[in-house]
Amino acid sequence: MSDVAELKVNNQTYQLPVTKGTEDEVAVDIQKLRAESKVITLDPGFGNTGSCESGITFIDGEKGILRYRGIPIEQLAEKSTFVETAYLLIYGKLPNETELSDFKNGLTRHSLIHEDMLHFYDGYPSTAHPMAILSSMVCSLSAYYPDSLDPSDPEQVARLIPRVLSKIRTIASYSFKKSIGQPVIYPKNSLDYCANFLYMMFAVPSEAFEVDEDIVKAVNMLLILHADHEQNCSTSTVRLVGSSDANLFASIAAGICALWGPKHGGANQAVVEMLAEIEKNDGDVRKALERAKDKDDPFRLMGFGHRVYKNYDPRARVIKGSCDKILAKTGQTDPLLDIARRLEEAALEDPYFRDRKLYPNVDFYSGVIYRAIGIPTNMFTVMFALGRLPGWIAHWKEMVDSKNYRIGRPRQIYTGNNETNYVPLSQRT
């Protein structure tokens, strides 16, 4: 194959370099196109635009493949822990024993937040969405750690990574405790990352709390499955904000806000709300399908469809396979799981969904497990944020380590007025 593409525009032919990834993905490099031709490319939603080269995560949406640093997601979900996977994403390799132990120690050492930050919680209304609290608290961390804000200083970055990874878990669990009027539970150094999170979420000072190892395993699995997904909306946001050399806390806070939307991470909350609505309507899944197909109705089947996957989302497959096991473990049944299965079955038989290659995505079944564990619905997207954090950090680090990154600054095609004179107020109609 030629390593040059030709573009003919305004009767001129331009030669554009062609670049290839390690999995043979091909891209036409247009970096110099405007300088040479005054022409830009137009791609709203960036469905066809590569914003960077990256060695972190590979997705083949047609085949339903997802790998972190080359390792299939199914292997990591079964055999790894969230902390080990975070190391893999951020540092590019599986840690050896010393590296893992040092990494874990760093997370343990940085698990507290400054006591003054506890007062922040009192300022939020009790109805505040935990994503609003999480994003603002993470941004506020930058006020407390001025010694780790410079992205160009590797020592500061090294301090920053365990700080943000560890403290976000504390912030998230405190926001839950505050929302239900319970005292916050300080982290316990003897517990691993996920066990410590569950402890801070569900322990109370008045009695002993045993962390259930099967539930810890389920949380590890869910966080691993969410840990990275290459240039998705929130990760691209983190890269874009970080490209201005804003600090990592600010960049992550922006990523949390991007994740909140129901087309992105907010879908996990929206799925359970949709399933509950179907349950209220006698469990009739057909009405939801009809609404989702109606172009005059903004309703979409939440947890279905994906920009990249045109096949079953491999993360959804793993989560769906674990639902029964976790419900059995917690001794529960969940009518919403039955509705979700019937909804999936009906959608996959429907030509609308088949023709558009719309399959369940990661958010379709995750809520069933979160409910079984006792995580409230409005905390689901916070769980997604905890999981996605290593991916955000890995992409930010990859970018700042690359040294040759430029500020993210797309162009546009202007479609507004041509030059128009200012009209004084008295002469306006």
Active site residues: 306, 363
Contact between 301 and ligand CMC per CB under 6 A: yes
Per CB under 6 A, the list member of 178, 239, 306, 395 interacting with ligand CMC is 306
Which of 61, 376 has the CB closer to ligand CMC?
61
Q: How far is the CB of 28 from ligand CMC (least distance, A)?
A: 21
The pair phi, psi for residue 237, each rounded to 5°, is: -65, -45
Residue 268: CB minimum distance to ligand CMC, A: 8
- Residue nearer to ligand CMC on the CB measure, 138 or 292: 292
Among 222, 292, 323, 369, binds ligand CMC (CB under 6 A): 292
Interacting stretch for ligand CMC, rule CB under 6 A, among 119-127, 132-140, 154-162, 305-313? 305-313
Alpha-carbon 184 to chain mean position: 26
The torsion angle over the Cα atoms of residues 147, 149, 153 and 155, rounded to 10 degrees, is 50
Nearer to ligand CMC, 114 or 356 (CB): 356
Residue carrying the six token digits 């912030």: 171
Q: Which two tokens stand for residue 379?
A: 């905390």
In terms of CB distance, is 59 or 165 closer to ligand CMC?
59
From candidates 58, 176, 199, 304, binder to ligand CMC by CB under 6 A:
304
Name the nearest CA neighbour of 134 among 303, 260, 10, 7.
260
216 vs 340, beta carbon nearer ligand CMC = 340
Alpha-helix residue ranges (DSSP H) falling in 11-54: 33-37
Q: Which of residues 354-383 bind ligand CMC (CB under 6 A)?
A: 356, 358, 361-363
Position 392 contacts ligand CMC (CB under 6 A): no
Q: Token pair 């995505």 is at which residue? A: 361
Binding mask 46-85 for ligand CMC (x = CB under 6 A): ----------------------------------------
DSSP assignment of 257-304, as one string? Answer: HHHHSTTTTTHHHHHHHHHHHHHHTTT-HHHHHHHHH-TTS----TTB
Compute the distance between CA of residue 39 and CA of residue 292 in angstroms, rounded to an integer. 38
- If one asks whether residue 265 binds ligand CMC (CB under 6 A), the answer comes out as yes
User: Which range touches ligand CMC (CB under 6 A), out of 104-112, 259-267, 325-333, 392-400?
Assistant: 259-267
For strand 57-60 and strand 26-28, is the pairing parallel, antiparallel, or unpaired? Answer: unpaired
Of 387, 373, 371, nearest to 212 by C-alpha is 373
User: Segment 199-238, which members bind ligand CMC (CB under 6 A)?
Assistant: 229, 232
Helix segments in 6-129, DSSP class H: 33-37, 73-79, 82-91, 97-109, 115-123
- Applying CB under 6 A, the residues found at the interface with ligand CMC are 45, 229, 232, 263-265, 267, 292, 300-307, 356, 358, 361-363
